[in-house]
């Protein structure tokens, strides 16, 4: 009688233990795959940083090489009387391309997502997406700036060059293939008074101002950084 009871109890304990162990094994499997996933993700993250760093170092190398080229060029063509005009042209071309840092008088426009509108405060018939900055808002502002005679433009430090695309993938805006986020600081060099057309009643900034947070100011000296990528000519001759 007593023996029987002990046997049954032991049986139950064994059964529970078996279940517990098999569950445990399953969990272990899951954990180890997650660990390896985390591990490989960390590796990937490391690799992203590694390539980014390599790119940044190479950008500095390019910077130095270009400065050196300018010196060597000047030095080795000093006996050529036609050289200095050509060198000036090359410098102008590089400035036009946007691969040099430039400065001059102009304007700074800051465009922000509207912080006073949230999913709680928004009207039933309204759409929250109206209150955030979209890629085509930025494209339109850039186009208007060009129309107002801008000579150089940047958005959050990304120089606008002839190969610049402003796009949106998911909800990430990319300029020159690099992520940019609100607030967007748009800088342009040009005749400040001409830029006023952007803010005129019915103009692009006036229209956007109904939804977004916008501020503009004229500046005596706007600094615009160079494009750090390469403007290639692999396919055109």
Q: Which is nearer to another protein, 17 or 128 (CB)?
A: 17
228 vs 99: CA distance, rounded Å: 7
Range list of β-strands (E), 143-207 = 152-155, 158-159, 166-169, 172-175, 178-180, 184-189
Residues in the chain: 237
Nearest one of 193, 110, 102, 198 to 152, comparing CA atoms: 102
What residues between 144 and 173 interact with another protein by CB under 8 A?
A: 144, 146-147, 150-152, 160-167
Give the footprint of another protein on residues 23-82 (CB under 8 A).
Answer: 23-24, 26-27, 30-31, 34, 37-38, 40-41, 44-45, 47-48, 51-52, 54-55, 58-59, 61-62, 65-66, 68-69, 72-73, 75-77, 79-80, 82
**Closer residue to another protein, CB minimum distance, 126 or 177:** 177
DSSP states of 32-57 as a string?
HHHHHHHHHHHHHHHHHHHHHHHHHH
**Using the rule CB under 8 A, is 134 a contact of another protein?**
no
Task: By CB under 8 A, tell whether 189 contacts another protein.
Answer: yes
Q: Residue 213 Cβ, how far from another protein at the closest point, in Å?
A: 24
Q: DSSP label at 214? A: E
Q: Does 19 bind another protein (CB under 8 A)?
A: yes
Long-range CB contacts (within 8 A, 24+) of 94-98: 97/161, 97/162, 97/227, 97/231, 98/152, 98/159, 98/160, 98/161, 98/162, 98/226, 98/227
Q: With respect to another protein, which residue has the nearer C-beta, 128 or 231?
A: 231
Please tell me the distance from the alpha carbon of residue 139 to that of residue 147, in angstroms, as a whole number: 12
Size of the site for another protein (CB under 8 A): 98
In the stretch 208-227, what mask flags binding to another protein with x, by CB under 8 A? ---------------x----
- Asked if 207 touches another protein (CB under 8 A), the answer is no
Rounded CA separation 224/159 (Å): 7
| Rounded Cα gap, residues 29 and 34, in angstroms | 9
- Nearest distance from C-beta of residue 166 to another protein, angstroms: 6
Instruction: Write each residue from 90 to 129 as x if it is in contact with another protein (CB under 8 A), else as -, in one continuous string.
Output: xxxxxxxxx-xxxxxxx-----------------------
Among positions 108, 117, 122, 139, the unique one binding another protein when judged by CB under 8 A: 139
């Amino acid at each position: 009688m007593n023996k029987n009871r002990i046997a049954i109890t032991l049986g139950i304990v064994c059964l529970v233990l078996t279940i517990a162990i098999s569950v445990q094994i399953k969990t272990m499997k899951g954990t180890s795959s997650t660990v390896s996933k985390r591990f490989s993700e960390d590796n990937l993250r490391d690799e992203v940083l590694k390539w980014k760093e390599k790119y940044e170092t190479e950008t500095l190398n390019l910077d130095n090489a270009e400065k050196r080229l300018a010196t060597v060029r000047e030095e080795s063509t000093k006996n050529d009387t036609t050289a200095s005009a050509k060198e000036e042209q090359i410098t102008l071309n590089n400035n036009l391309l946007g691969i040099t840092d430039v400065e001059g008088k102009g304007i700074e426009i800051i465009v922000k997502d509207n912080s006073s509108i949230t999913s709680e405060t928004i009207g039933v018939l309204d759409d929250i997406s109206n209150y955030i900055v979209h890629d085509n808002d930025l494209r339109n502002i850039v186009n208007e700036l060009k129309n107002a005679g801008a000579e150089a433009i940047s958005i959050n430090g990304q120089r606008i060059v002839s190969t610049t695309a402003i796009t949106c993938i998911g909800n990430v805006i990319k300029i020159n293939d690099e992520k940019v986020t609100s607030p967007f600081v748009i800088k342009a060099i040009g005749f400040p008074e001409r830029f006023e057309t952007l803010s005129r009643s019915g103009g692009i900034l006036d229209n956007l101002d109904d939804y977004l947070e916008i501020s503009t100011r004229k500046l005596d000296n706007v600094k615009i950084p160079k494009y750090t990528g390469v403007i290639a000519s692999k396919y055109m001759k």
